[in-house]
Structure 1
């Protein structure tokens, strides 16, 4: 547990070393125990060329920009927000540890009651004290039917949350949801500010107030977010006093800005990260991830909705070639949302690249090669469009490789790029080179990816996948408190995906970051798909200290 009364000049890294008990993600513990933009023109975010060289200032380049900074609408739900804190947070090994809570929760009532005691003396950046009412307000608001939070299904297990005095919060669950503690990394919003606004349209999403290590000072949409250190932060004032995240969607532009000195660090695809090898004063850090790339196969498209086409594509694709050539070995073949080195992976669901098998599947289903080699059935060509996000070189390379492999089997994949605004209306009928993945628990990603109730719900279940056995297994997996039952449920899901692959999973990708080697404390965590504000070496920028 951190010492709240220590001087703010004490490095937070030292405080982290004195942190209290930690709890490994349920995925590891239970199984071991039970089963063994382009940026706005090319302007420098910090102002002058070379900005960010001061030891107390850092400028980094990220690829994606949040739609909102309100945790009530989904921002920071997986932890690591710079503006807010959750009751719990993760350490470098992804173990849960106390944040706004003084200690890990007391779990009673056969896993249905979680009781948290708040850390004493925590204040929001406007000086107002944090109380249990703020925690209750946050969770109740997210679950309110009128709140536009697409992730509220993640709190399905929560029946009631209540305050008992100013420092105690009690969560009552409908069922013993094993990974519930992981859900309490969710950032806490101040009721005295957010509660006085319309949750969906108020300015809290652009002018947030939190308890975190940094305070937002400027947000220029499409260009940058700028933060300053919170001098009243309960964990001690960060040594990096000014922190800027430049929004640079294009990989090549991000690399150019890093090379010119405009940026101190950036996330880069493997081929661009390799160009910085040997650069003096910079280091490359790799983060293992659950981040996958997949092709959605919409059920309502007459070609991608055909089970034979799906199964043929699943074995026609050369996943290992993608790992070797696109990722330069920085990743692994993907056969579903769970990486092959995860304890949750269902062994035996690997699919071998077999072009002849793909052709036979199509032949047997009546898809015959036409004059140009593209197959046809009942007068319909085996052809469909595949969209990827403009400027994302990794998605582009995956899409082109997928199209090349598909063509060898007689399926035409027409690769196109666009913004999400262009792509989203087309997702019902057109394939998309999508991404996802969460290391916290299999429920976190798989339910929203596959459950039929979420088909067509924004970016949830983009393929509109529907399988009653998968739906049942998803519910069993989140509602059972027994490790062996959960493992069986997620094994079922992976085997069903092999039988009827509504997505073609391609690779799991390691994230690469190139960053100036000027600070102590540069590390990475096991990362989810969503990388940028919360991930990378800056996951703990509040703990960095200048090199001596």
Structure 2
């Protein structure tokens, strides 16, 4: 079966069912807590989930993915397909029709010009757009009228739904951002902190790395939504305090990403104030290997760029040995229980795209030692640390501040030290680590460490754009304000060629084969990425909050317009 046949037979799905309320703002106030605080409300300025999801309450794409991974229209009248004439027979053009009468929250008309501008914004020279892979295949965008957007691709696209679909690719208002192109993007603080949107809420006040105050959008397209008049979106703290605030004290209505040991969550649920919701998608906790030298002794424009290869992680044998030393089953046990599965894959789902590789699931400390010996890394001075050519094998291992991640760090440090590697641990507030601030030395994009651990995933069910992040020359660096997606600075022309092949392959089985090969090049052949745990998403909501539908394929807040208060 080909993806083209899916396009031919697909029908645009109906809009989300109405929630159980009848008047905008009638249910008062709702409190949301994300223990990683948002740093910016422009998802093109940050790859951090907490920034993308908070922004999704304000900014919207043309279509989204529902809780089952199906495409649903939001700002568009329907999802374009070959059958309905929205996608050309040769798969080189997709035409979006916008809903008539849409307005920005400031009351001005939403038009096709805003959609075209969003493409110009993300692809502007001098700006390392955090979602740039979404637009890799676009040749041009035309707007024949205010309600029509015609996207022409460089080659036939069996999956033409990368631009403007999902929470990672929303539309920006041209009038607000037109002076923020290229190098000016990071200087537009007002726009980045207070974007004008079409979503159900507007920003009243944004305190970066702290709290967002929002109110119902007076120009939202459904006059009866949202049910809540105001929102407090609190950021910071830790997963445990966030969970308690919903499940035990009832202070908050929704808590995101309860990255806690299963017994801790079970104890919290005994508080009786709320319930957890769980779903598996494509969220993988992994270790990223820095292929470049993060040493502060290097000039700023060379540090952590491909101009300076890493002194020992540039050797694949070293990276493989570090992976072999890890016991992933123990990590699942101490961190996630039934909400986690040991994995060797960066892309664990859907099944079509998941590699059958299980090589990494068996810990092999002796094999890891032998591999390091083979690579010439031995302890020549008896201090317990392997060295070579005067370089000690010392690793700075960083991640965000979180109890589960710190437990993982402790375990991995112990295993790595067993094979003769010295490990220093560092943890950084998630608000900063995932914040994308070009001036901070502590972001995961800058990667001023040897290894780092985190999790993210892709929206929708197709991994093409996600895998395209690792294309050559897509790395964060000084001249793109440290906003590229290729965190490790990985570069392989063969990988890029396979990406190009994936982009033009329509047969689903063949797409699966190519995606699996790409995944294995990153994880099994190069060990640039060391997957650890396929994580189920665990969040919580109060017993009085209705309309919550956990979505692992888009933003968790994808249907916040449909949330409402349940009377006790």
Deviation at 1:277, TM superposition (A): 2.2
Deviations 1:57-87 (A, max 9, x none): 2111103344432466468879981112221
2: CA distance, partners of 1:330 / 1:171: 40
Instruction: Name the stretch that deviates more: 220-229 or 368-377.
Output: 368-377
Other structure's SS at 2:351 match: coil
Alignment of 1:58-69 (within 5 A): 58-69=30-41
1: CA distance, partners of 2:486 / 2:221: 39
Asked if the contact 1:291–1:527 (Cα under 8 Å) also holds between the matched residues in 2, the reply is: no
2: CA distance, partners of 1:192 / 1:363: 60
Other structure's SS at 2:59 match: coil
Is 1:399 the counterpart of 2:409? The answer is: yes
Residue aligning to 1:190: 173
Q: Equivalent of 2:355, from 342, 346, 353?
A: 346
Is 1:490 the counterpart of 2:480? The answer is: no
Residue aligning to 2:29: 57
Q: Equivalent of 2:559, from 532, 540, 543?
A: 540
Is 1:265 the counterpart of 2:240? The answer is: no
Q: Equivalent of 1:95, from 63, 70, 80?
A: 70
2: CA distance, partners of 1:158 / 1:502: 28
Residue aligning to 1:20: none
Q: Equivalent of 2:204, from 217, 221, 233?
A: 217
Deviation at 1:416, TM superposition (A): 1.9
Instruction: Name the stretch that deviates more: 340-349 or 91-100.
Output: 340-349
Alignment of 1:187-336 (within 5 A): 187-195=170-178, 200=185, 201-202=187-188, 203-235=190-222, 236-255=224-243, 257-258=245-246, 259-267=248-256, 268-271=258-261, 272-299=264-291, 300-336=309-345
TM-score scaled by length of structure 2: 0.79
Other structure's SS at 2:345 match: coil
TM-score scaled by length of structure 1: 0.82
Is 1:112 the counterpart of 2:92? The answer is: yes
Instruction: Name the stretch that deviates more: 236-245 or 182-191.
Output: 182-191
Asked if the contact 1:337–1:446 (Cα under 8 Å) also holds between the matched residues in 2, the reply is: no
Residue aligning to 1:140: 120
Q: Equivalent of 1:436, from 428, 450, 456?
A: 456
Q: Equivalent of 2:501, from 464, 471, 476?
A: 476
Deviation at 1:367, TM superposition (A): 3.1
Deviations 1:434-471 (A, max 9, x none): 333214221222221x3232244436322222333223
1: CA distance, partners of 2:14 / 2:354: 40
Is 1:82 the counterpart of 2:57? The answer is: yes
Q: Structure 1 residues 70, 314: closer, same or farther in 2, change over 3 A? A: closer
Q: Structure 1 residues 547, 252: closer, same or farther in 2, change over 3 A? A: closer
Asked if the contact 2:398–2:449 (Cα under 8 Å) also holds between the matched residues in 1, the reply is: no
Asked if the contact 1:72–1:189 (Cα under 8 Å) also holds between the matched residues in 2, the reply is: no
Q: Structure 1 residues 72, 411: closer, same or farther in 2, change over 3 A? A: closer
Deviations 1:406-433 (A, max 9, x none): 2222322221223533434972562222
Is 1:364 the counterpart of 2:374? The answer is: yes
Asked if the contact 2:93–2:153 (Cα under 8 Å) also holds between the matched residues in 1, the reply is: yes
Other structure's SS at 1:343 match: helix
Q: Structure 1 residues 161, 503: closer, same or farther in 2, change over 3 A? A: same
Q: Equivalent of 1:160, from 135, 140, 158?
A: 140
Deviations 1:5-26 (A, max 9, x none): xxxxx983379xxxxxxxxxxx
Q: Structure 1 residues 136, 322: closer, same or farther in 2, change over 3 A? A: same
Residue aligning to 1:514: 540
Q: Structure 1 residues 11, 367: closer, same or farther in 2, change over 3 A? A: closer
Instruction: Name the stretch that deviates more: 464-473 or 222-231.
Output: 464-473
Asked if the contact 1:86–1:184 (Cα under 8 Å) also holds between the matched residues in 2, the reply is: yes
2: CA distance, partners of 1:207 / 1:382: 45
1: CA distance, partners of 2:476 / 2:225: 44
Q: Equivalent of 1:12, from 12, 18, 22?
A: 18
Q: Structure 1 residues 197, 465: closer, same or farther in 2, change over 3 A? A: closer
1: CA distance, partners of 2:542 / 2:405: 27
Residue aligning to 1:26: none
Q: Structure 1 residues 288, 56: closer, same or farther in 2, change over 3 A? A: farther
Q: Structure 1 residues 221, 494: closer, same or farther in 2, change over 3 A? A: closer
Alignment of 1:458-469 (within 5 A): 458=482, 460-469=485-494
Q: Structure 1 residues 153, 285: closer, same or farther in 2, change over 3 A? A: closer
